[in-house]
């Protein structure tokens, strides 16, 4: 490792805990409230992700909150006070105010530590798409690239991180304003499954629908076939909201199309899962465009 600066991101990236430890990436914890209890964040209780989805399926309705500027400052200041520069990869500004909190914290800390660089990238990504971008950035940084060069690399790459996903239950998207109540009711009755992606501005956009779960999963792979520009060492990332059998089916389709390419699987964390719901299945990859 020839890294010349620190890398920090937030838990909306859905990277596993061991990734942060093994790759020496700092993580700012976003949090949520559910059933009157504060979870995660800086001071909340821990809730196993499978327990989270069990409560979601039983009707619990969590509410999430962004990282505050003070929380970001508390995460970054120990790094700059130790003489380190910092590159931050933030959760999409199209979905959260967390990116703005990074900016405010960076402005304040740059004044306090004028010799230090704190650069912030709006990933325009979410979930394991943000995680995939972080991993590319880590690999770039580990070549010994300067912080500005790595920041520019991330800015150029982020519009090529494709996010395609489907959900099992439309009501969480309805609650977040992504689909209408009528669409949610009719779609659930007819077993219509939407196909969505994250667009160039970092927003969730519905781009199609399929009759039934397997067809919606197949549609993810078809979109990937249209857009992917994978080199031999580019991975495919999958995240899911507690639907491991569907993950197996998706992997079968990907193996049929792309052979033994590296596939990385992670669970969708509670903050993203609060909005997407149990049964969400997503694929992320490097593509020609979003």
pLDDT single digits (tens) 49-108? 999 999 999 999 999 999 999 999 999 999 999 999 999 999 999 999 999 999 999 999
Domain boundary pick from 143, 158, 173? 158
The predicted pLDDT at position 175 comes to: 64
The predicted pLDDT at position 170 comes to: 65
Two structure tokens written together for 180: 């209408």
Overall number of domains in the chain: 2
Tell me the Ramachandran region of residue 212: left when phi exceeds 0, alpha when psi lies from -120 to 50, beta otherwise.
left
pLDDT above 60 for 187: no
Is residue 223 within 8 A of residue 164, CB to CB? The reply is yes
Question: Residue 220 is part of a domain; what is its CATH number?
Answer: 3.30.1180.10
Residues 84 and 123 in one domain: yes
Say if 166 falls within a structural domain: yes
Range of the domain at 61: 6-158
pTM of the model: 0.95
DSSP type of residue 12: G
Say if 1 falls within a structural domain: no
The Cα 260–Cα 258 span in angstroms is: 7
Residues 194 and 211 in one domain: yes
Is residue 69 within 8 A of residue 40, CB to CB? The reply is no
Beta strands in the chain (DSSP E): 6-10, 26-28, 31-34, 37-40, 63-65, 86-90, 118-122, 161-166, 192-198, 204-211, 236-240, 263-267, 281-286
pLDDT above 80 for 1: no
Q: What is the mean pLDDT of residues 189-200?
A: 82
The Cα 94–Cα 103 span in angstroms is: 15
pLDDT above 90 for 118: yes
The Cα 40–Cα 34 span in angstroms is: 11
Residues 172 and 265 in one domain: yes
**3-state secondary structure string across 64-125:** EECCCHHHHHHHHHHHHHCCCCEEEEECCCCCCCHHHHHHHHHHHHHHHCCCCCEEEEECCC
pLDDT above 80 for 174: no
Say if 62 falls within a structural domain: yes
Is residue 76 within 8 A of residue 118, CB to CB? The reply is yes
Is residue 209 within 8 A of residue 246, CB to CB? The reply is no
Torsion of CA 245, 18, 98, 242, to 10 degrees: 10
């Amino acid at each position: 490792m020839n890294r010349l600066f620190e890398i920090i991101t937030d838990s909306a990236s859905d990277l596993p805990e061991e990734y942060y430890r093994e790759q020496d990436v700092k993580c700012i914890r976003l949090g949520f409230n559910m059933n009157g209890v504060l979870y995660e964040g800086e001071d909340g209780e821990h809730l196993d992700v499978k327990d989270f989805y069990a409560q979601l399926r039983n009707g619990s309705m969590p509410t999430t909150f962004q990282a505050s500027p003070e929380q970001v400052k508390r995460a970054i200041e120990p790094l700059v006070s130790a003489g380190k520069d910092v590159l931050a990869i933030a959760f999409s500004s199209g979905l959260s105010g967390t990116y703005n909190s990074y900016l405010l914290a960076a402005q304040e800390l740059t004044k306090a530590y004028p010799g230090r660089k704190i650069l912030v990238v709006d990933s325009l990504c979410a979930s394991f798409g943000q995680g995939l971008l972080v991993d590319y950035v880590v690999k770039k940084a580990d070549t010994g690239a300067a912080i500005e060069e790595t920041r520019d690399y991330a800015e150029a790459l982020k519009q090529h991180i494709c996010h395609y996903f489907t959900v099992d239950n439309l009501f969480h998207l309805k609650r977040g304003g992504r689909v209408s109540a009528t669409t949610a009711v009719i779609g659930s009755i007819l077993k219509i499954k939407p196909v969505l992606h994250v667009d160039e501005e970092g927003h969730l956009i519905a781009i199609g629908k399929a009759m039934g779960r397997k067809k919606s999963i197949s549609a993810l792979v078809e979109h990937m076939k249209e857009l992917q520009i994978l080199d031999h060492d580019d991975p495919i990332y999958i995240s899911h909201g507690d639907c491991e059998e569907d993950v197996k089916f998706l992997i079968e389709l990907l193996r049929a199309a792309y052979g033994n390419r590296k596939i990385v699987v992670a669970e969708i964390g509670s903050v993203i899962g609060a909005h997407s719901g149990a049964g969400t299945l997503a694929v992320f990859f490097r593509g020609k465009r979003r």
